[in-house]
Structure formats: structure tokens, C-alpha cells
């Protein structure tokens, strides 16, 4: 037996768009640890067959006994999983309307704050000019006038700093949310017709982890703010259906937990008949 694998097999490392995205679901469920799934291709002993598979990194260390997974089945399972992270058109419309209303209110508030601060600066300028006129009269207490001028200078610096933090253009925030809403509006169709390079980028943008066991996706860990959007939709759907605020909040929390990686210890899915812990040769 070759130390690197099974008899007369030649293993080479290859790249795959799911590398770095899929993690061992069995290790997550049974041991509460995250272990990467490694991608390998194997050429048979006669060199006339080429097999690809994923396996848990823990198999190499004898820390996991999860079976090897077929590339095609895992690819199909991940693609199918994209159907589960779609936002409904009604929710997307409701969010966009809410964002527009909230941003309009925020812009109005920022504009009002800017006007108030600019008025304060104008008033400070008037006070400063008056004090400078008084300073020309040598009969008045000069030290007191100088102290008032120093106070005005401090106030002007404070107001100027506050003014620099006022942002009336919030289009970048709207664009940030729009991108994520677009991403989850129909992710399955987007993923299905994407190139392998684009699929890699989509996986990395959406998922921190996708957990696979026996060729099936058994859970995920979705990045923010996508996870929060999916959770918010569950709460919104509950409220729309007439649920109480408490029930809607519970639905939101459950969805957040669901997309934060599986935590409940349970047996991994049963393998299909005829499956083996060894790759095909």
C-alpha cells in the first residue's frame, strides 16, 4: 500500500470552486468542530479513469470517519441549497420601500442638523467680530475679552468637527443594501447559470461555511448582512400572517440560529446503499 493512498493510485491536488466553502457536516454535528472538506482527483491503476471526490480533513488524522463524497452530488446539493436562501419578492419590495422612507427621513434630519450647525458658526462669527471691535477700546478689560475670544475659538472648533460628521448623501448605504437584496432575490438562477469562477465568488460572498454530510447539505453559516435579511424575512412573514410580535421575534431568532451553523448533536444522514469510505479506484 502506498502511504499516500490506496494501491497504485496517483493523487494530485486540484482546484475546485467549492474549496474553502464546504465543511464536514458530520464533524460539526457530532464533534462541534469545523473541518474543511478537501478536494482530490484520483487516477485508476490503469490510468484510464479519473475520479474526483471530497473528503473531510479529519480523515487524514483519523479524527473523522465520514465517507468520501461524489463531486457531482455535492455540486448539485450546493446548487439546490441556493433555493433555500431566496428572499420573497414581497419582502424585497417591502424592504426597499422601508429603506427609501428611512433614508429620506435620515437625509431630512441630517440637513436640519447641518443648517443648525451652520447657524451656530455664523453666530460665533458675529460674536467674535463684536469682541474684536470692543478690543480696540483700550479702556475695556482686555484679558476678559481675550478669554471670550478663546472660548469662541473652542466653540468654533467643536461645531466644525460636528459639521464634518454630517452626511446628507446616504446613497452608498442604499447601494450596499440594494446589492445584498439583489443577491438574494433569485440566487439559485444566478448560481445555476454562473461560471465556476463566479460560483466561487458567490459562495465566498454568501457563506462562511456550507456543511456537507453524505453528499447532502445539512446546514450553513451565512455571512452578515445576508443572514440578518433572511432572518428578518421570517419575522416579517410571521407578522404578515397575523402572529404576535413575540412569535415573530422567535421566528427571526430561529432563522438566525438556523443560518449560523448546525449546533444540535444528532446522527449524520445515513449513507446511500453501496457507499464506501474509500474513493473509487
pLDDT tens, position by position, 151-180: 989 999 998 998 888 776 666 667 777 888
Residues 2 and 76 in one domain: yes
pLDDT band at 66 (very low <50, low <70, confident <90, very high): very high
The residue assigned the cell 442604499 is 174
Domain-located, residue 104: yes
Domain-located, residue 21: yes
Please calculate the CA angle 55-10-73 and round it to the nearest 5 degrees. Answer: 35
Residue 250 confidence (pLDDT): 95
Give the separation between CA 180 and CA 173, rounded to whole angstroms.
11
Domain-located, residue 183: no
Are 218 and 27 in contact by the 8 Å Cβ rule? The answer is no
Residues 101 and 72 in one domain: no
Residues 78 and 96 in one domain: no
Domain-located, residue 280: no
pLDDT tens, 205-236?
Answer: 999 999 999 999 999 999 998 999 999 999 99
Other Cβ atoms closer than 10 A to 276: 9
Strand, coil or helix: 12? strand
The residue assigned the cell 422567535 is 250
Residue 130 confidence (pLDDT): 85
Give the separation between CA 117 and CA 166, rounded to whole angstroms.
10
* Count of structural domains, the chain: 2
Q: Which of 181, 76, 77, 165 is nearest to 113 (CA)?
A: 165
Domain limits at 134?
90-171
Residues 133 and 1 in one domain: no
- Strands 69-70 and 207-213, how do they pair? unpaired
Give the separation between CA 251 and CA 243, rounded to whole angstroms.
10
pLDDT tens, 26-52?
Answer: 999 999 999 999 998 876 666 665 678
Residues 35 and 101 in one domain: no
Residues 81 and 145 in one domain: no
Residues 79 and 100 in one domain: no
Residue 11 confidence (pLDDT): 45
Amino acid at each position: 500500500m502506498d502511504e499516500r493512498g490506496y494501491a497504485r493510485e496517483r493523487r494530485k491536488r486540484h482546484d475546485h470552486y467549492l474549496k474553502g466553502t464546504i465543511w464536514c457536516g458530520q464533524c460539526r454535528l457530532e464533534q462541534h468542530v469545523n473541518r474543511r472538506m478537501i478536494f482530490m482527483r484520483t487516477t485508476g491503476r490503469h490510468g484510464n479513469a479519473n475520479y474526483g471526490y471530497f473528503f473531510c480533513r479529519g480523515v487524514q488524522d483519523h479524527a473523522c470517519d465520514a465517507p468520501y463524497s461524489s463531486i457531482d452530488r455535492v455540486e448539485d446539493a450546493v446548487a439546490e441549497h441556493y433555493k433555500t436562501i431566496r428572499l420573497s419578492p414581497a419582502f424585497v419590495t417591502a424592504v426597499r420601500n422601508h429603506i427609501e422612507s428611512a433614508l429620506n427621513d435620515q437625509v431630512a434630519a441630517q440637513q436640519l442638523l447641518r443648517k443648525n450647525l451652520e447657524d451656530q458658526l455664523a453666530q460665533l462669527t458675529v460674536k467674535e467680530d463684536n469682541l474684536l471691535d470692543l478690543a480696540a477700546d483700550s479702556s475695556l478689560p482686555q484679558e476678559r475679552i481675550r478669554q471670550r475670544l478663546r472660548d469662541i475659538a473652542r466653540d468654533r472648533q467643536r461645531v466644525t468637527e460636528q459639521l464634518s460628521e454630517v452626511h446628507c448623501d446616504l446613497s452608498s448605504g442604499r447601494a450596499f443594501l440594494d446589492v445584498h437584496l439583489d443577491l438574494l432575490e433569485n440566487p439559485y438562477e444566478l448560481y445555476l447559470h454562473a461560471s465556476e469562477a463566479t460560483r466561487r465568488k458567490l459562495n465566498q460572498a454568501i457563506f462562511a461555511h456550507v456543511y456537507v454530510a453524505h453528499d447532502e447539505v445539512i446546514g450553513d453559516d451565512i455571512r452578515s448582512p445576508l443572514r440578518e435579511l433572511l432572518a428578518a424575512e421570517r419575522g416579517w412573514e410571521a407578522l404578515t400572517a397575523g402572529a404576535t410580535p413575540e412569535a415573530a421575534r422567535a421566528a427571526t431568532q430561529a432563522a438566525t440560529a438556523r443560518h449560523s451553523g448546525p449546533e444540535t448533536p444528532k446522527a449524520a444522514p445515513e449513507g446511500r446503499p453501496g457507499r464506501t469510505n474509500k474513493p473509487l479506484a
